[in-house]
Amino acid sequence: MKLVGSHGSPFARKVRVVMAEKKIDCQFESINVAESHAQTQQFNPLGKVPYLVLDGDEVLYDSRVIVEYLDNLTPVHRLIPASGRPRAEVKVWEALADGMADAAGLIRMESMRPESQRNDAWVAKQQSKIDAALAAMSARLGEQPFCVDGKYSLADIAVGCALGYVSWRFPHIDWRTLYPNLAALADKLSARASFADTAPPPA
Ligand SMILES: N[C@@H](CCC(=O)N[C@@H](CS)C(=O)NCC(=O)O)C(=O)O
Protein backbone atom coordinates (compact mmCIF):
# COMPACT_ATOMS: atom_id res chain seq x y z
CA MET A 1 0.00 0.00 0.00
CA LYS A 2 1.09 3.56 -0.60
CA LEU A 3 -0.45 6.67 0.95
CA VAL A 4 -0.14 9.85 -1.08
CA GLY A 5 -0.57 13.17 0.71
CA SER A 6 1.44 16.06 1.99
CA HIS A 7 3.23 16.70 5.27
CA GLY A 8 0.99 19.70 5.93
CA SER A 9 -2.37 18.09 5.16
CA PRO A 10 -4.47 17.52 8.30
CA PHE A 11 -6.41 14.83 6.43
CA ALA A 12 -3.26 12.92 5.45
CA ARG A 13 -2.01 13.31 9.02
CA LYS A 14 -5.23 11.78 10.35
CA VAL A 15 -4.60 8.72 8.18
CA ARG A 16 -0.93 8.53 9.19
CA VAL A 17 -1.80 8.72 12.90
CA VAL A 18 -4.34 5.92 12.44
CA MET A 19 -1.70 3.81 10.65
CA ALA A 20 0.79 4.41 13.47
CA GLU A 21 -1.75 3.57 16.19
CA LYS A 22 -2.76 0.39 14.41
CA LYS A 23 0.85 -0.55 13.59
CA ILE A 24 0.14 -0.67 9.86
CA ASP A 25 3.26 -0.34 7.73
CA CYS A 26 2.75 1.80 4.66
CA GLN A 27 4.87 3.85 2.31
CA PHE A 28 4.09 7.60 2.46
CA GLU A 29 4.64 9.79 -0.60
CA SER A 30 4.49 13.51 0.07
CA ILE A 31 3.58 15.69 -2.91
CA ASN A 32 3.09 19.38 -3.50
CA VAL A 33 -0.69 19.45 -3.86
CA ALA A 34 -0.85 22.78 -5.71
CA GLU A 35 1.65 21.66 -8.34
CA SER A 36 0.42 18.08 -8.74
CA HIS A 37 -3.26 18.64 -9.53
CA ALA A 38 -3.22 16.78 -12.87
CA GLN A 39 -1.30 13.83 -11.38
CA THR A 40 -3.60 13.72 -8.35
CA GLN A 41 -6.70 13.70 -10.57
CA GLN A 42 -5.51 10.51 -12.23
CA PHE A 43 -6.07 8.80 -8.87
CA ASN A 44 -8.80 10.94 -7.33
CA PRO A 45 -11.01 12.81 -9.82
CA LEU A 46 -11.56 15.45 -7.12
CA GLY A 47 -7.85 16.27 -7.20
CA LYS A 48 -7.48 15.97 -3.44
CA VAL A 49 -5.11 14.17 -1.13
CA PRO A 50 -4.83 11.91 0.71
CA TYR A 51 -5.47 8.86 -1.42
CA LEU A 52 -4.41 5.30 -0.70
CA VAL A 53 -3.09 3.05 -3.47
CA LEU A 54 -3.84 -0.55 -2.53
CA ASP A 55 -1.77 -3.53 -3.58
CA GLY A 56 -3.39 -4.33 -6.91
CA ASP A 57 -3.64 -0.66 -7.81
CA GLU A 58 -7.15 0.03 -6.54
CA VAL A 59 -7.33 3.53 -5.04
CA LEU A 60 -9.27 4.71 -1.98
CA TYR A 61 -10.20 8.29 -1.08
CA ASP A 62 -11.13 10.37 0.94
CA SER A 63 -9.57 10.28 4.41
CA ARG A 64 -12.80 9.17 6.10
CA VAL A 65 -13.08 6.17 3.80
CA ILE A 66 -9.38 5.36 4.22
CA VAL A 67 -9.44 5.40 8.04
CA GLU A 68 -12.53 3.21 8.10
CA TYR A 69 -10.82 0.75 5.75
CA LEU A 70 -7.67 0.72 7.89
CA ASP A 71 -9.60 0.26 11.13
CA ASN A 72 -11.22 -2.85 9.67
CA LEU A 73 -7.97 -4.16 8.23
CA THR A 74 -6.67 -5.30 11.60
CA PRO A 75 -8.26 -5.66 15.03
CA VAL A 76 -5.18 -4.03 16.60
CA HIS A 77 -6.29 -0.93 18.56
CA ARG A 78 -9.83 -0.40 17.27
CA LEU A 79 -10.46 3.33 16.78
CA ILE A 80 -14.05 3.34 15.48
CA PRO A 81 -16.79 1.69 17.57
CA ALA A 82 -18.53 -1.10 15.65
CA SER A 83 -22.09 0.20 15.93
CA GLY A 84 -24.70 2.26 17.68
CA ARG A 85 -24.51 5.64 19.36
CA PRO A 86 -20.76 5.62 20.13
CA ARG A 87 -20.03 4.99 16.44
CA ALA A 88 -22.27 7.87 15.38
CA GLU A 89 -20.65 10.14 17.97
CA VAL A 90 -17.17 9.37 16.69
CA LYS A 91 -18.34 10.12 13.14
CA VAL A 92 -19.90 13.44 14.19
CA TRP A 93 -16.64 14.46 15.89
CA GLU A 94 -14.75 13.53 12.75
CA ALA A 95 -17.15 15.53 10.56
CA LEU A 96 -16.78 18.54 12.86
CA ALA A 97 -12.99 18.36 12.97
CA ASP A 98 -12.64 17.74 9.22
CA GLY A 99 -15.07 20.58 8.52
CA MET A 100 -12.96 22.95 10.58
CA ALA A 101 -9.83 21.83 8.73
CA ASP A 102 -11.68 22.35 5.42
CA ALA A 103 -12.58 25.93 6.34
CA ALA A 104 -9.00 26.62 7.47
CA GLY A 105 -7.63 25.14 4.24
CA LEU A 106 -9.93 27.32 2.15
CA ILE A 107 -8.77 30.46 3.97
CA ARG A 108 -5.19 29.38 3.40
CA MET A 109 -5.83 28.91 -0.35
CA GLU A 110 -7.57 32.29 -0.59
CA SER A 111 -4.58 33.94 1.11
CA MET A 112 -2.36 32.64 -1.69
CA ARG A 113 -4.37 34.46 -4.39
CA PRO A 114 -3.33 37.96 -5.46
CA GLU A 115 -4.64 40.43 -2.88
CA SER A 116 -6.91 42.15 -5.40
CA GLN A 117 -8.74 38.87 -6.07
CA ARG A 118 -9.38 37.92 -2.44
CA ASN A 119 -12.93 37.97 -1.13
CA ASP A 120 -12.95 39.23 2.46
CA ALA A 121 -16.61 38.38 3.08
CA TRP A 122 -16.00 34.80 1.97
CA VAL A 123 -12.93 34.54 4.22
CA ALA A 124 -14.97 35.90 7.14
CA LYS A 125 -17.59 33.21 6.50
CA GLN A 126 -14.95 30.47 6.63
CA GLN A 127 -13.48 32.05 9.78
CA SER A 128 -16.91 31.95 11.43
CA LYS A 129 -17.01 28.20 10.76
CA ILE A 130 -13.67 27.75 12.53
CA ASP A 131 -14.83 29.86 15.49
CA ALA A 132 -18.12 27.96 15.78
CA ALA A 133 -16.42 24.58 15.40
CA LEU A 134 -13.94 25.39 18.19
CA ALA A 135 -16.78 26.46 20.50
CA ALA A 136 -18.79 23.33 19.66
CA MET A 137 -15.80 21.05 20.24
CA SER A 138 -15.05 22.64 23.59
CA ALA A 139 -18.67 22.40 24.74
CA ARG A 140 -18.98 18.81 23.52
CA LEU A 141 -15.75 17.73 25.18
CA GLY A 142 -16.51 19.31 28.56
CA GLU A 143 -14.37 17.72 31.25
CA GLN A 144 -14.05 14.33 29.54
CA PRO A 145 -10.49 13.03 29.08
CA PHE A 146 -11.25 12.05 25.46
CA CYS A 147 -14.02 12.95 23.02
CA VAL A 148 -16.24 9.86 23.18
CA ASP A 149 -16.97 7.74 26.28
CA GLY A 150 -13.64 8.69 27.89
CA LYS A 151 -11.78 6.47 25.42
CA TYR A 152 -9.16 7.41 22.82
CA SER A 153 -10.69 7.02 19.35
CA LEU A 154 -10.70 8.35 15.81
CA ALA A 155 -12.63 11.35 17.18
CA ASP A 156 -9.56 12.48 19.17
CA ILE A 157 -7.28 11.86 16.21
CA ALA A 158 -9.42 13.98 13.88
CA VAL A 159 -9.68 16.78 16.46
CA GLY A 160 -5.93 16.71 17.19
CA CYS A 161 -5.06 16.95 13.49
CA ALA A 162 -7.53 19.79 12.85
CA LEU A 163 -6.34 21.78 15.88
CA GLY A 164 -2.73 21.15 14.86
CA TYR A 165 -3.44 22.52 11.38
CA VAL A 166 -5.13 25.66 12.73
CA SER A 167 -2.19 26.31 15.07
CA TRP A 168 0.30 25.69 12.28
CA ARG A 169 -1.28 27.94 9.64
CA PHE A 170 -3.06 30.49 11.85
CA PRO A 171 -1.04 30.93 15.07
CA HIS A 172 -2.97 34.15 15.79
CA ILE A 173 -6.16 32.13 16.47
CA ASP A 174 -5.75 31.78 20.22
CA TRP A 175 -8.00 28.77 20.78
CA ARG A 176 -5.73 27.53 23.59
CA THR A 177 -6.59 30.49 25.83
CA LEU A 178 -10.28 30.45 24.87
CA TYR A 179 -10.69 26.71 25.34
CA PRO A 180 -8.32 25.24 27.96
CA ASN A 181 -10.08 21.85 27.75
CA LEU A 182 -9.18 21.61 24.04
CA ALA A 183 -5.61 22.68 24.86
CA ALA A 184 -5.34 19.92 27.49
CA LEU A 185 -6.60 17.35 24.98
CA ALA A 186 -4.20 18.62 22.29
CA ASP A 187 -1.25 18.41 24.71
CA LYS A 188 -2.16 14.86 25.66
CA LEU A 189 -2.36 13.89 21.98
CA SER A 190 0.94 15.60 21.08
CA ALA A 191 2.69 13.38 23.62
CA ARG A 192 1.75 10.27 21.63
CA ALA A 193 4.40 9.00 19.22
CA SER A 194 1.78 8.82 16.42
CA PHE A 195 1.22 12.59 16.67
CA ALA A 196 4.83 13.57 17.38
CA ASP A 197 6.04 11.63 14.33
CA THR A 198 3.50 13.27 11.98
CA ALA A 199 3.67 16.90 13.13
CA PRO A 200 3.60 19.43 10.25
CA PRO A 201 6.99 20.85 9.23
CA PRO A 202 8.12 24.21 10.66
CA ALA A 203 5.88 26.95 9.19
N1 LIG B 1 -12.59 15.42 2.43
C2 LIG B 1 -11.25 15.23 1.96
C3 LIG B 1 -10.51 16.56 2.03
C4 LIG B 1 -9.12 16.47 1.40
C5 LIG B 1 -8.53 17.84 1.11
O6 LIG B 1 -9.23 18.86 1.09
N7 LIG B 1 -7.24 17.84 0.82
C8 LIG B 1 -6.56 19.06 0.44
C9 LIG B 1 -5.15 19.08 1.05
S10 LIG B 1 -5.23 19.30 2.79
C11 LIG B 1 -6.37 19.05 -1.07
O12 LIG B 1 -5.99 18.05 -1.63
N13 LIG B 1 -6.66 20.19 -1.73
C14 LIG B 1 -6.44 20.35 -3.13
C15 LIG B 1 -7.68 20.76 -3.85
O16 LIG B 1 -8.75 20.88 -3.22
O17 LIG B 1 -7.58 21.00 -5.06
C18 LIG B 1 -10.55 14.16 2.80
O19 LIG B 1 -10.93 13.99 3.96
O20 LIG B 1 -9.67 13.44 2.29
pLDDT in tens, 94-115: 999 999 999 999 999 999 999 9
Give yes or no for a cis peptide into 98 (omega within 30° of 0): no
Q: What is the pLDDT of residue 156?
A: 99
Give 135-170 pLDDT, tens digit per residue: 999 999 999 999 999 999 999 999 999 999 999 999
For residue 63, report the distance from its CA to the centre of ligand 1, in Å. Answer: 9
The answer to whether residues 67 and 24 touch, using CB atoms and an 8 Å cutoff, is: no
Among 3, 6, 48, 165, say which to mutate for ligand 1: greatest number of ligand atoms within 8 Å of CB.
48
Q: What is the pLDDT of residue 141?
A: 98
Q: What is the pLDDT of residue 136?
A: 98
The CATH homologous superfamily to which domain 2-73 belongs is Glutaredoxin (3.40.30.10)
Domain with CATH 1.20.1050.10 in the chain: 84-192
Q: What is the pLDDT of residue 202?
A: 86
Q: Look at the pTM and tell me if it is higher than 0.85.
A: yes
Q: What is the pLDDT of residue 57?
A: 86
Domain with CATH 3.40.30.10 in the chain: 2-73
What fold is seen in the domain 84-192? Glutathione S-transferase Yfyf (Class Pi); Chain A, domain 2 (1.20.1050)
Phi then psi dihedrals of residue 139, to 5 deg: -65, -40
For residue 61, report the distance from its CA to the centre of ligand 1, in Å. Answer: 10
Measured by CA distance, the residue closest to atom 1 of ligand 1 is 62
Region 22-42 average pLDDT: 95
* Percent of the chain scoring above 90 in pLDDT: 97
The atom number, within ligand 1, closest to the CA of 37 reads 17
Whether pLDDT at 203 is above 80 = no
Query: How confident is the prediction for the chain on average, in pLDDT?
Result: 97
* Percent of the chain scoring above 70 in pLDDT: 100
d(CA 49, CA 9): 8
